[in-house]
Structure 1
Amino acid sequence: MTTYAGSTMKLRVAREVSPFGYFLSLGDDEDTEVLLHYSETNGVKVKEGMEVEAFLFHDTDDRLSATLKKPLIRLGELKRLAVADIHPRLGCFLEIGLGRQLLLPISELPELIDLRPLPGDEVFVTLTHDKSGRLLAKLAREEDLAKHVFPAPATWKNEWKEGWVSRTLQMGSFVVLDGGVVGFGAYGMIPAAERPEPLRLGQRVSARVTFVREDGRVNLSMGKLKQVGRIEDADRLLAFLKERPGGAMPYSDETPAELIKNKFGISKSAFKRAVGKLMRDGIVRQEGNWTKLLTEEEAAAFKAMADAAKAESAKAESAKAESAKTGAAPKQPAATERAAKEPASREPVKKASQKKPFPGPNRGR
């Protein structure tokens, strides 16, 4: 097979052969001609002798053919293409805008089936040839993407961005974030601990920029800010507790992280922050491996203690502010005042219960 496939060329219409279409001349030494079928003229009125801009490909019989339709990708280009179909042994078939699909071989896909793309996902690929000259998609590597991405601005920190997973590993998932009007996009990574589950190649994701590196790449997280996530997680746990018999659940700070992740879909740290908020609010308490809702009496007692502590704190702050105005030291408790008046040289008083040491064999003689 020739290597013309995948290229867009200006070719002369040599002749028309009904009922097939037009034969275009490649203009090579062998005077090779390719068929432009009537169905591939894309509405253009073709005549013998005129020049047309045609995209070359191989048909189902591996014959070099031409079309006047515009492909979504050309030879050597890097594009993001949608997955049209999947084959368990061959790989993924990608839509290229010509009414036919392009194969992304299974050798280019992750080994784990759960990490492979699904129809509707979009993957970054380049167009190349196989050993026989047929068109083939090749997954874009990091060095391929590096030529197109732009450095993320520092203002992106803590902003939510959307993108497509370009590579997924056990350690994390690499994502090309949408560039919008700025350009192709920016490159980032979601560490495994910052994603709720392993992500598929080509999956559409939304993630928060946690850090912008000096080279313009970014660290990402699919979790909310801790202060926001703590409130939402606490609400979810409270709703779960209220549905449980007796308002108790067999999960606490002592529960293994894996069990918490499987049950609530959050990390153990997030779980502890959420439970801690509920405990500070006087809503729950923990007993060993259990977390329980407080009874009305327990909640009332907790509120009374909290109000007293708050009043005492406010009183101390008020005294501190008053002393700052007058320049005097804040009044000390009576016991402290008495201790301050005692002379520093005074010997400590011996306790009445203190006993003299038992005389040894050489004592008292």
Structure 2
Amino acid sequence: MLQEQVVPSLMKWGVSPQADLVYRTLVAFGPLTAGGISRSLTMQIRQVRGALEELTALGAAAPGPAPVARRSDGRIWSGRPPAHVSAMLRDRHHRNAVARYRLSRRMSRTLSPELLTDHLRILASGARPLAAGGQSQARMMEINRAGCRESISVSGDSAYSTAAVKAAAPIDRAMAERRVTMFSLGVPASDEHETGWHDVEMHSLGMQYRELPELPGRYIIFDRTTALVRKKPFDPTHGMWEINDPTLVAELLALFLQDWSLAKEPHWEWTPPHGLSSREGAVVALLATGLTDAAVAARLDLSVRTIAYTMSTLMDRYDVINRFQLGLRLGTATAQPAVPLDVSETRR
């Protein structure tokens, strides 16, 4: 019988799709033999064995005692609790990321981020001060309505409040709707971070996102001509500077390009396959994180009925009878990766 618990995807931590699917099956349906998994997923037995070896090496699955006088395929496999596995993989991923980052920094020429705190130089450039909250948000909306084509966002904050994300979400969605090219560079979320759903949503809408273990502050560059820089790198209550000076904007862009080249893409829990609309992709991506229909509706500013209708439409389209089957179909469907964009190319 299907167990009622959220089973997060392990692919965001570098686990292969086959191993992730086998792990989900073990947790959802309980202990199974390799042959049982193969039949349940219609997966070749050699792929199942490879997935079980990967999960065992990670500590995410374990075999029971070898059966007496039976082939090894009769051994029963169990998945370890999702909370334990997620925490273990998250810690391992963070340790590896910090090690790679420090090595890359030692081997590269690091640009100085001092501009982010050099207020005298920023003032001398004729920068315009923007108050925190309303004025900064209003200016971003104004830039978007003026026909912005590219947005580069950098943040060293490891957590945002729900209110802050809800305020920024309409601007981000409007840019995605207009097919603005979006790059976002951030740091791994802290345990207090409860708004990672917006990153998942924006990824499903086409945003390119990478992470570094640490970043010097918060700034946004629009069309490589206008930059908004937080006055206090890690304190949003002091507002931002709007910078249009070509020399300063070019320095910020160079800092971003260097950090972007060192950063790594996180393993997202789910990438929408072709054929899903932006709304369908966002809904399924957020449901895959374990959110309820009501929670997804609140985050996307939709009704619960709309979420249910969207899922019903998808189940009809993929000819499945429940959401679990839909998740398996979408999770194993061939998804074409987005074509990488050359961020070094000057956009006019």
> Which TM-score tier does this pair reach, normalised by the shorter chain?
under 0.3
Normalised TM-score (structure 1): 0.20
Which protein has greater RCO, CA pairs closer than 8 Å, 6+ apart? 2
Normalised TM-score (structure 2): 0.20
Q: Computing the radius of gyration over CA atoms, which structure comes out larger, 1 or 2?
A: 1
